[in-house]
A = this chain, B = another copy of it.
């Protein structure tokens, strides 16, 4: 085996960053990742095992001060950004300029179209570079974009909701069997880690427990990714996220009309063909449906469906662990592709 890859993680104390760090720590192709924090971070100069005692007992995980020179001096080749999108937007141009490859877990570089990016209100210091990088950035959904990922300098790791919705719909839309004019609906439900580690009234235990709530109706940031990747018009998709009283996991219930009458077996074939050879998507035999528990703590996206007797009205169910296939696991999968390794490495 050749020399191990040197990676670094900025933002390891967030939920996704921590999950990513755990994966990198046991990935057979990597040296122990460099964990970084910026001076302004609340966790600067701390130890990751203090924030996550589950990690203790296996060595030390100091968060080192972030600086470009130290990164290159340490020979880091690949930088993972588990930072807020504003930070990622300003850090990525610098990283690329340093010759680093980057996998960014934020929404900063996922969107090609300006009107979709508008919701993020980016303020780019250097608009030309930002535009170039926006062009170069590869959307890191391996099951759809595996041809571009190997050579990418910048991989924009997809949003958790977007992953669950795009993987459920792509086979049918690409097969041309969805009546897009009738409208597609994704009613999605996520565990609380998807809302981030910030403590606020919304993430307080008493607000979430024994509850369910819809939010960001007609206005969630992940919709742009879904539209771009699925090549849908804005009025062809309604996406409604809900906050579940569970720590992690996403279930999307998706409603579509088929453009012609079909049999369940035909649909199942489309999915099986589309995901043939793709380890991290599991297609359930109809009418069996995935549940959140089945994909928790795995990198799987689980897909199932039920077709009405009319052969037209379709209900899809898609589950992912928002911290794995919806974030950190997918980032590792992207890294595997970028370095020519087996897509499963470090993820079993």
A192 at the B interface (CB under 8 A): yes
B205 close to A209 (CB less than 8 A):
yes
Partner of A204 from the list B205, B235, B291, B294 (CB cut-off 8 Å) is B205
A20 at the B interface (CB under 8 A): no
Q: How far is the CA of A293 from the CA of B292 in the complex (A)?
A: 19
B185 close to A291 (CB less than 8 A):
no
A54 close to B296 (CB less than 8 A):
yes
B217 close to A306 (CB less than 8 A):
yes
Q: How far is the CA of A210 from the CA of B192 in the complex (A)?
A: 11
Q: How far is the CA of A182 from the CA of B255 in the complex (A)?
A: 12
- The stretch of A87-95, A106-114, A193-201, A334-342 in contact with B is A193-201
A26 at the B interface (CB under 8 A): yes
B199 close to A238 (CB less than 8 A):
no
A41 at the B interface (CB under 8 A): no
A297 at the B interface (CB under 8 A): yes
A146 at the B interface (CB under 8 A): no
A199 close to B210 (CB less than 8 A):
no
- The stretch of A1-9, A310-318, A324-332 in contact with B is A310-318
By a CB distance below 8 angstroms, the chain B residues around A217 are 287, 289, 306, 315
Partner of A257 from the list B183, B215, B246 (CB cut-off 8 Å) is B183
Mark interface residues in A189-224 (1 if CB within 8 Å of B CB, else 0): 100110001011101111111111111011000000
A213 close to B296 (CB less than 8 A):
no
B15 close to A313 (CB less than 8 A):
no
Given contacts A53-B291, A187-B187, A199-B200, 11 further A-B contacts (CB under 8 A): A54-B293, A56-B282, A57-B279, A182-B183, A185-B255, A199-B199, A206-B247, A211-B249, A217-B289, A235-B310, A238-B315
Name 23 interchain pairs, CB-CB below 8 A, sorted by A.
A54-B294, A54-B298, A56-B294, A183-B257, A185-B185, A187-B253, A187-B255, A192-B205, A199-B199, A199-B203, A205-B208, A205-B209, A205-B245, A210-B249, A212-B244, A214-B317, A217-B289, A217-B315, A218-B306, A218-B309, A218-B315, A240-B315, A244-B244
